[in-house]
Structures are given as structure tokens and as C-alpha cells.
Amino acid sequence: MPHKVSLSRLKLTDFRNYATAGLELDGRHVVLTGDNGAGKTNLMEAVSFLSPGRGLRRATYGDVTRVGAHGGFSIFAALDGMEGEVEIGTGVDTTDESTSRRLRINGTPAKTADELTDHLRLLWLTPSMDGLFTGGSSERRRFLDRLVLSLDPAHGRRASDFERAMRSRNKLLDERRFDPSWLSGIEEQMATLGIAMAMARQEMLGLLVRLIEETRETSPFPSASLDLAGFMDGQFDRPAVDLEDEYAAQLAESRYRDAAAGRTLEGPHRADLLVRHRDKRMDAARCSTGEQKALLVGLIMAHARLVANLTDHAPILLLDEIAAHLDESRRAALFDLIDALGGQAFMTGTDRSMFAALGDRAQFFTVADGRVFE
């Protein structure tokens, strides 16, 4: 059984619709119920800020600061983490012109948000992800990179560095500055970072596909076939240095074409995650809404198991409106699967009875008008 990572306290100040809010937790799963708009997802979003990035809604810091608040927002959490008990504080001071996110771990300023991954890994599933299979490829890439990041914390830095280098190249091309000494240096950097990104994605998918195959017969959810397309297809059995040289050469050859297009046309930023319903041999985009939801839930749970297996620590799950489109038997099977994972899950819904199968495995809270009651 992997080590259980769990929150014991959560405190919010001026976050979304909460002037202040506090939860005392005992390590069990957390169920938040209440009317739509009461603030259930806001509590989950606060927890998601305990990971690098902008949380499960990808909101700007100004958007998450409570309307009418002066001085920004703050989030405090105490948890039994991957390196033992730890206290994490994060937030933004809007009186500071930089408006950058501040982070303290055990009272000491953190150098980067990547330090959070030393203490916990977070995975989430929200209703906004229901259109993942039918929407644009950018959403699937973002989803994929979140999965990679939970296993490889350096992936986020590589991706942001690649984007920065690509913007510099695009700017030079837009200004018709084709100086090879400048462009070659940027393109070599893009090649190193881009191939590293692509290989990390491929490695994670390979591990996930094998785990899905191993648990296929026992999972209550349909199995997904996964693949990547759109960048260096079928070539990742070759040495990284060869792929880097080839990608750098592609970039050099495509300078005038990319200048005309106004963007870089080849790279990991153009890749797409391909998902198929394994048993039906059907693209996920062509499946019914219910089948797509089941595929996505199965995919998230398989990845959670992969994270637990590889890190020896179960991730914290944030599952927003998770029970809404599942029948009673599948809900019960999902709750058993979540519990067997060995971690802590936060779940939301409008009807408490939908979580009855959890029994005393969860703490139940009612959320109403920016307040939380047990």
C-alpha cells in the first residue's frame, strides 16, 4: 500500500467567495455537498493551488481574489506529505506591483513552485474536462502535460522554457531577422527541450498503457488505447541526440515558411493525444457522452494508480461533480477504487445521498453561501 498523503487543515482568506473558511480534516476522504454556486469547487480550487501552476481552473490571481478584498488572497494547508508533516502557505499580495504568487513551506520562502511536488501530487477531474475528447488538441496537450508533471516535476519547466524560446524565434522571424547565428542558437535550445518534452510524454504514456492493460479485466470503467501524433511520429525508439539534430534541422529549413505562417509549425506544441475506446475500437470523440465520461474517469484513476506505484505515495484526488453522471453501481465501484488507491480524495456534489456508498470512509461537509459546515 502506498504512503497516504492527506490534508489535516485547510484555511482560506479572501479566496473566491470566501472571506475566511477553515476545514479540520482527519485523513478520510472529503465530500462537499451543496447547491450549485455555493462554493464547493472553489474549495477544491484552493487545494489545487498546492501544486505548481494556476490551479484547476487556470485562473488569473486577480480572478480568484474575493471581490472587494484588499491585499489579495491566501491559502494555508497542513498535511502529512511525502516528506512527513509540512505546512504550506501560498497566495498573492495585490498591493505588491509584481502580483507574483508567494509560497512558503514550513515558514521558509520556496525558490519555485516546483518544490510543492516534493510534498504532494495532485490530480483532478472537473466537468469542464468532459469535452476533452471532442475539443481542440491544445486541451488534450494540457491534460497530457499535467499527467506527465505528476510523475516528472521537471516537465513543467522544460515546457515553459520551450515556449519562451519559441516565442523568441517567432519574434525574430516576424521581424524578418534571419541571422543564422541568432536563430541557430534558439533552434538548438528548442530542439533539446522539445525532444525532452516529447520523450517524457511518450514514456509516461507507455507506462500508463501497460498499467491499463494489466488492470483491464478488473476495472469497472472502459479501457482506453492511447497514442501521440503530430510530432516525430513513430521515431522515439531512436537516440535523443539524433532526434534533436533532426528537429533542429527541420526548424532551420522551415524558417521562411514559419515566418509566412506567423508561427512555428513543427514541434511538441503541435502534438495531439489520441484516445480510443479499446473494447469498441472506436475513437473517444465518436463515443457517447456517457462513454466519454467513463473513459475519462478510468483514465484518471489508472494514472492515479501509476503515480502511487512509481512514487510510493498516493496522489490527492480532486473530483468535481464526480457522481453526477454515474449510476449507483458504478458510483459504488468508483468509491471502492478511490479508497483502494490508499490516498485522500475531495469530491463534490449537490446531493449527499449520491455518496452514501462511502459510508464512514469520508467526512461530509455542507457548503452554503461561502460557509462550510460539518
* pLDDT surpasses 70 at 76: yes
**What are 34-47's pLDDT values in tens digits?**
999 999 999 999 99
Residues 122 and 196 in one domain: no
Q: Which three-class secondary structure state does DSSP give residue 84?
A: strand
Q: What is the mean pLDDT of residues 295-308?
A: 96
The pLDDT score that the predictor gives to residue 222 is: 93
213: containing domain = 134-286
CATH number of residue 102's parent domain: 3.40.50.300
Q: What letter represents residue 227's amino acid?
A: D
The pLDDT score that the predictor gives to residue 51 is: 95
Residues 170 and 113 in one domain: no
Kindly state whether residue 308 falls inside one of the protein's structural domains: no
CATH number of residue 235's parent domain: 1.20.1050.90
Q: Which three-class secondary structure state does DSSP give residue 132?
A: coil
| Cα 261 to Cα 166: distance, rounded to the nearest angstrom | 14
Q: Average pLDDT over the chain, rounded to whole?
A: 94
Query: Which pTM does this prediction carry?
Result: 0.93
* pLDDT surpasses 70 at 194: yes
Q: What is the mean pLDDT of residues 270-289?
A: 95
Residues 140 and 277 in one domain: yes
**What are 317-334's pLDDT values in tens digits?**
999 999 887 888 889 999
**Residue 171 DSSP one-character state:** H
Kindly state whether residue 358 falls inside one of the protein's structural domains: yes
Contacts of 14 (CB under 8 A, 6+ apart): 20, 65, 66, 69, 71, 72, 73, 74
* pLDDT surpasses 70 at 134: yes
Residues 255 and 338 in one domain: no
Q: Which three-class secondary structure state does DSSP give residue 368?
A: strand
Residues 335 and 373 in one domain: yes
**What are 112-125's pLDDT values in tens digits?**
999 999 999 999 99
Residues 155 and 79 in one domain: no
pLDDT-above-70 percentage for the chain: 99
HSE-CB for 101 with a 13 A CA cutoff: 24
* pLDDT surpasses 80 at 94: no
| Cα 214 to Cα 1: distance, rounded to the nearest angstrom | 18
Kindly state whether residue 294 falls inside one of the protein's structural domains: no
Contacts of 81 (CB under 8 A, 6+ apart): 5, 118, 119, 120
Sign of the torsion angle spanned by Cα atoms 88, 49, 227, 127: positive
The pLDDT score that the predictor gives to residue 200 is: 97
Contacts of 106 (CB under 8 A, 6+ apart): 86, 87
Residues 250 and 354 in one domain: no
Sign of the torsion angle spanned by Cα atoms 15, 17, 19, 21: negative
Position 369 confidence tier, pLDDT thresholds 50, 70, 90: confident
* pLDDT surpasses 70 at 272: yes
For residue 203, which of 180, 236, 251 has the smallest C-alpha distance?
236
Q: What letter represents residue 21's amino acid?
A: A
> With contact defined as beta carbons under 8 Å apart, do 27 and 4 qualify?
yes
Kindly state whether residue 188 falls inside one of the protein's structural domains: yes
Residues 173 and 280 in one domain: yes
**What are 213-257's pLDDT values in tens digits?**
999 888 899 999 999 999 999 899 999 999 999 999 999 999 999
Q: What is the mean pLDDT of residues 175-201?
A: 95
pLDDT-above-90 percentage for the chain: 87
Q: What is the side-by-side strand order in the sheet with 6-15?
A: 18-24, 6-15, 73-81, 84-92, 102-105, 108-109
| Cα 295 to Cα 292: distance, rounded to the nearest angstrom | 5
* pLDDT surpasses 90 at 299: yes
Position 95 confidence tier, pLDDT thresholds 50, 70, 90: low
Q: What letter represents residue 205's amino acid?
A: L
Residues 160 and 64 in one domain: no
**What are 146-158's pLDDT values in tens digits?**
999 999 999 999 9
Total domains in the fold of the chain: 2
Nearest 5°: phi and psi at 282? -130, 140
Kindly state whether residue 297 falls inside one of the protein's structural domains: no
Residues 196 and 271 in one domain: yes
The pLDDT score that the predictor gives to residue 96 is: 65
For residue 75, which of 141, 18, 150 has the smallest C-alpha distance?
18
Q: Which three-class secondary structure state does DSSP give residue 81?
A: strand
Kindly state whether residue 307 falls inside one of the protein's structural domains: no
For residue 277, which of 269, 268, 287, 267 has the smallest C-alpha distance?
287
| Cα 326 to Cα 320: distance, rounded to the nearest angstrom | 13
Residues 109 and 33 in one domain: yes
Angle between helices 289-311 and 328-341 (to 10 degrees): 10
Nearest 5°: phi and psi at 62? -65, -35
Kindly state whether residue 215 falls inside one of the protein's structural domains: yes
| Cα 107 to Cα 103: distance, rounded to the nearest angstrom | 9
The pLDDT score that the predictor gives to residue 98 is: 60
Cα separations in angstroms, 161 against 40, 121, 245, 246: 34, 22, 19, 20
Contacts of 111 (CB under 8 A, 6+ apart): none
DSSP string covering 16-79, please?
TTEEEEEEE--SSEEEEE-STTSSHHHHHHHHHTTSSSSTTTT--HHHHBPTT-SS-EEEEEEE
Residues 141 and 123 in one domain: no
Q: What is the mean pLDDT of residues 349-371?
A: 95
Identify the domain boundary among 269, 286, 303.
Answer: 286
Kindly state whether residue 300 falls inside one of the protein's structural domains: no
